[in-house]
Amino acid sequence: MNGWMSLELARKGIEFVKGLDEFAGLSRKWLVKIEDEPTSPEYGTPPWERPIEQHIRMGVIALDKPPGPTSHEVVAWIKRMFGLSKAGHGGTLDPKVTGVLPVALEEATKIIGLVVHTGKEYVCVMQLHSPVPERELRKAVQMFIGEIYQRPPLRSSVKRSLRTKKIYDIELLEYTGQYALMRVECEAGTYMRKLCHDIGLVLGVGAHMRELRRTRSGPFRESRGLVRLQELSEALYRWRTEGKDDWLRKYILPAEYAVSHLAKIIIRDTAVDAIAHGADLAVPGIVMLHEGIKPGDMVALFTLKGELVAIGVAKMSSEEIMKARRGIAVRMRRVIMKPGIYPRAWKRKEQAKEQGGETKPGKKE
């Protein structure tokens, strides 16, 4: 392959990663450290070109959970449906609750925990035990925006200790005098049932949650489309009987979408295998990065083809990385890519000593 083709592939990979920003609703500027860095077509596979079996094993589903089954039961059905050994979800929903339930398949389960702790959005029907003027309801609702105290309800599966949670916004969409339809943006782990109960206490009339639907979990939003279990089953049947995988590719997203809400860094081909072996990311291996990264931020590392390599914690800010010529920029937290997919471009410490050097994983020969 010539240089033009490898550069074109890198451009497509970069566009894919930028598309992840759009999917998550991010509008961060990109900083370029190395201009026109090519990638070899001989190594790795762009996420949109993975064979269907690999696409499934490295996939995530934005599922529309139906009322009735538990989140665990839904995941177990999907795991059995596809014949997988592992699957996991991105945040429990009670049996009666519907809406966004991100489900990670096989290898993507390594990163689904990053979705569990992201912000959530719900549409909730609250029933007041006695009517109150709408003005009083709006005033009471506004009191709960910000940091609040919550003790998990009796039916919860966690320890019932007092905790603080953040409510980012509550919008009263409709009110009939007894039923209130609200949209709530909140921190992960916030109990809507308890929120409704507490609003009722403040109003002095009592209230309880009547219905609940989750409309966002991290980067996954109802507005971007959800998949029903029936649709997933039909797509799987179509592939197994007719050999057509177009529906499966539509319903199952590449695992990279599960980290689309994180700050991102794109790295050189020569840095990939060292990181796959657990090395930290050094400054010379960085091609592009998001503006505004601060030390301590969680960041996702991508190849020039758009493949997720690892999740790490930034040790430098974006500005420091752009100015630096060497040094550790990111400490690895979780490696996703398996070793050996990209060529080795580093020496083991023992080999380096034999040659009179002190080269460590992550440093090019």
In the set 64, 94, 273, 280, the catalytic residue is 94
Burial of residue 144 (CB within 10 Å: 0-12, 13-18, 19+) is middle
Residues 106 and 254: their CA atoms lie apart, in Å, by: 12
335-363 in b/e form (b: 16+ CB < 10 A) is: bbbeeeebebbbbeeeebeeeeeebebbb
Residues 332 and 187: their CA atoms lie apart, in Å, by: 26
- Show the tokens assigned to 72: 């665990």
Amino acid occupying residue 233: S
Pairing type for strands 146-150 and 120-128 reads unpaired
Within the chain, residue ranges assigned H as helices are: 3-24, 52-57, 71-82, 113-116, 134-142, 192-203, 229-242, 246-251, 269-276, 318-323, 349-354
64 classed as catalytic: no
Residues 144 and 141: their CA atoms lie apart, in Å, by: 6
Active site residues: 94
